[in-house]
Structure 1
Amino acid sequence: MRRNILITGASSGLGRGMARAFAARGRNLALCARRADLLAEVRAELAAAYPDVRVAVRRLDVRDYEATAAAFRSVREELGGLDRVVVNAGLGAGVSVGTGGFATNRATAETNFVAGLAQCEAAMEIFRERGEGHLVVMSSVSAVRGMPRHLTAYAASKAAVATLADGIRADTVGTRLKVTTLFPGYIRTEMNEDLDRTPFIIDRDKGCELLVRAMDREPARAHVPAWPWAPAGAVLRRLPVALVAKSV
């Protein structure tokens, strides 16, 4: 069992929900996020509900790459090791390319991919030293093909980080280093709570429970929930671009 688990972007959204689900299973946690006040809230909540669970917290902007490596090493020492790292921190902002929103699209691309790479580097360095470990990369169902409008940069960044995880998996095949890529569907969080009439959306607690179950199985890739997103992803890859343009 993976006892000590690090989650980035853990102060809200899926990160916070996964922290709760892991704590309920008795796992020790290292929680990293930019907002120290919210991290303190999460730590207090988990300490009250699960007093036997150890929770280490670090204020971290994952775009500070040196700080990311230092934070990972620091919580490893505090917990006595890391068994799983969940690369979860991300941005969902975006605008159509060429409409004056480069700064927004750049922030999303850097946070989701370049900072994702930095987290993978830091995690895999620890795992390679130890000879085992489980890297989990959070992609998205949006990554299956190019998407229009506000999703263009986001989908591209999530496709990039999924491809990165594929490469790390290929580089470590036959070892005790495991790599899982998760493709969440629509899960209600602070990031998308203003969306109306979203098909197949599920609440955060249910979504995070399914994500944690998927991680514990340690597959190479998994859509969460599997229905309808595994078959929907296969269909989306084959849709004519005109239909894709109308799907968002």
Structure 2
Amino acid sequence: MRKNILITGASSGLGAEMARQFAAKGHHLALTARRVEKLQELRAEINMAHPDIHVVVHALDVNDHDAVFAVVEQCADDLGGLDRIVVNAGLGKGGRIGTGKFHANRETVETNIVAALAQCEAAMGHFYERGAGHLVVVSSMSAMRGLPGSVTTYAATKAAVAHLAEGIRMDLMKRKGHDIAVTTLFPGYIASEMNEGVEQEVKLMVDTETGVRSMVKAIDKEVGDAAVPGWPWAPLGQVMKHAPLGIVRRLI
């Protein structure tokens, strides 16, 4: 069992719900985010429901790359090692390319790619030292194709982190005598703080608890990659990958 789990971006949404569900399964937790007061509230909630679970919290802006390495090391010290690290922190800002939204698009790239790289570097360094561990990278179904409008940059960043995780997984194939796994998750539409401001109804949206339950199930199985929830996103992902662009445009 991967007992000790670090989750970045754990102050709300998918990260916070993963913390709740992993705590219910008996995992000790290291939770990081910029909003440490939210983490403290979550820790109190988890400790009330599961008093035997050890939860540590640390403020972390993942765009402070030196802090990423320092906080991962501190969390490992707090819990006596980390067995699983979930690279969950992300950003969904953006605008259609060429409409003056460069700064928002750049911020999304910096958070979703460069900061994710820092988290992967810190995680894998720890796992290589231990000879064991499980890296989980949260991508998105939007990674399946280039997408238009305000999600063009976001989709591109999620494709990038999926390839990053796959490259790490391929590296591990060349290594012997380790117990290190890499999982890439491709969530579909799961209700979270990131999308709660969307006014129009989003087709196929599931509630946070249901969506995260499917994420946790895939993580526990340590699959290489998974569309979550599997239905309808696994078949839809294949359509998005291979259908002509015009059809994909109508789907979204």
TM class by shorter-chain length? over 0.9
Identity of aligned residues (%): 56
Q: What are the residue-to-residue correspondences of 1:176-195 with 2, within 5 Å?
A: 176-195=179-198
The separation in 2 between residues aligned to 1:187 and 1:245, in whole angstroms, is 20
Could you say which residue in structure 1 is the equivalent of 2:169? 169
Q: Distance in 2 between matches of 1:155 and 1:225?
A: 18
CA distance in 2: counterparts of 1:247 and 1:192, whole angstroms = 18
TM-score, structure 1 normalization: 0.98
Counterpart CA distance in 1 for 2:145 and 2:133 is 30
Opposite residue 201 of structure 1, the aligned amino acid is: M
Query: What is aligned with 2:85?
Result: 85
Provide the C-alpha distance between the structure 2 equivalents of 1:247 and 1:97, rounded to a whole number of angstroms: 21
Give the alignment of 1:47-126 within 5 angstroms.
47-126=47-126
Distance, in Å, in 1 between the alignment partners of 2:206 and 2:102 is: 31
Q: After the TM superposition, list the runs of 4 or more consecutive aligned residues in structure 1 that deviate by more than 6 angstroms.
A: none
Listed one character per residue, the Cα deviations across residues 223-242 of structure 1 (whole Å, up to 9, x for unaligned) are: 10111111101101122223
Per the alignment, residue 203 of structure 1 pairs with: 207
Displacement after TM superposition at 1:176 (Å): 1.6
The equivalent of 1:130 in structure 2 is: 130
Supply the distance in 1 between the matched residues of 2:152 and 2:4 (Cα, whole angstroms): 35
How far apart are residue 210 of structure 1 and its match? Answer: 1.2
Amino acid at match of 2:195: N
Aligned partners of 2:167 and 2:241: how far apart in 1? 21
Aligned equivalents of 2:61 and 2:191: distance in 1? Answer: 23
Tell me, in whole angstroms, the C-alpha distance in 1 between the residues paired with 2:111 and 2:248. 25
Q: Secondary structure at the match of 2:93?
A: coil
In the alignment, which residue of structure 1 is the partner of 2:240? 236
Any unmatched runs of 5+ in structure 2?
none
Q: Is the CA contact 1:165–1:180 (under 8 Å) kept in the aligned structure 2?
A: yes
| Partner Cα separation in structure 1 for residue 13 and residue 223 of structure 2 | 23
Return the alpha-carbon distance in structure 2 between the equivalents of residues 241 and 25 of structure 1: 42
Equivalent residue, structure 2, for 1:226: 230
Question: For residues 96 and 192 of structure 1, what CA distance do their matches in structure 2 show?
Answer: 18
Does the Cα contact within 8 Å between 1:10 and 1:16 map onto a contact in 2? Answer: yes
Give me the whole-angstrom Cα distance separating, in 2, the residues matched to 1:124 and 1:10: 20
Unaligned residue ranges in structure 1 (runs of 5+):
none
TM-superposed deviation, 1:244 = 3.0
Letter in 2 for 1:240: P
CA root-mean-square deviation? 1.0
Paired residues in the alignment total 248
Determine which of 209, 212, 217 is the counterpart of 1:213.
Answer: 217
d(CA) in 2 for partners of 1:50, 1:209? 18
Counterpart of 2:196, as a letter, is E
TM-superposition CA deviations, 1:66-104 (whole Å, max 9, x none): 000000000100100100000000001110111100110
Which amino acid in structure 2 is aligned with residue 71 of structure 1?
Answer: V
Amino acid in the other structure paired with 1:211: M
For 2:40, the equivalent position in structure 1 comes to 40
- 1:209 Cα shift? 1.3
Distance of 1:82 and 1:131 partners within structure 2: 11
Contact 1:148 1:244 in 2 (8 A): no
Q: 1:243 Cα shift?
A: 3.2
In structure 1, how many angstroms separate the alpha carbons of the residues matched to 2:28 and 2:104? Answer: 35
